[in-house]
Amino acid sequence: MELVQRPRRLRTTPVLRKMVRETRMDPSSLIYPMFVKEGITGKNEIPSMPGQYHYGLDMLPKALEEVRDAGVSSVMLFGIPKTKDDWGSGAWAADGIIQQALELAKKEMPSLFYISDTCMCEYTSHGHCGIIENNQVDNDKTLDSLARIAVSQAQAGADMVAPSDMMDGRILAVRSKLDKKGFTTTPILAYSAKYASSFYEPFREAAQSAPQFGDRKNYQMDYHNKREALRELELDEEEGADILMIKPALSYLDVISEARKNTNHLLAAYSVSGEYAMIKAAAKAGFIKEDHLICETAVSIYRAGADLVVSYYAKEIAKFMKEGRIG
Catalytic residue ranges: 194, 247
Q: Of the candidates 46, 108, 57, which has an alpha carbon nearest to the alpha carbon of residue 79?
A: 57
Which residues partner with 256 through β-bridges? none
Q: Of the candidates 159, 60, 66, 62, which has an alpha carbon nearest to the alpha carbon of residue 113?
A: 159
In three-state form (DSSP H/G/I as H, E/B as E, the rest C), the secondary structure along 26-85 is CHHHEEEEEEEECCCCCEEEECCEEEEEEECCCCHHHHHHHHHHHCCCEEEEEEECCCCE
Cα angle: 312, vertex 317, 322; to 5 degrees:
150
In degrees and rounded to multiples of 5, residue 32 shows phi and psi of -105, 120
Strand bridging mode 113-118 / 30-37: unpaired
In degrees and rounded to multiples of 5, residue 325 shows phi and psi of -70, -35
**DSSP string for 197-241:** -GGGHHHHHHHT---SSS-STTTSBPTT-SHHHHHHHHHHHHHT-
What is the rounded distance in angstroms from the CA atom of residue 269 to the CA atom of residue 249?
6
Mapped onto helix, strand or coil, the DSSP state of residue 127 is coil
Count of CB atoms within 10 A of residue 189's CB? 25
| Chain-centroid distance, C-alpha 153 | 16
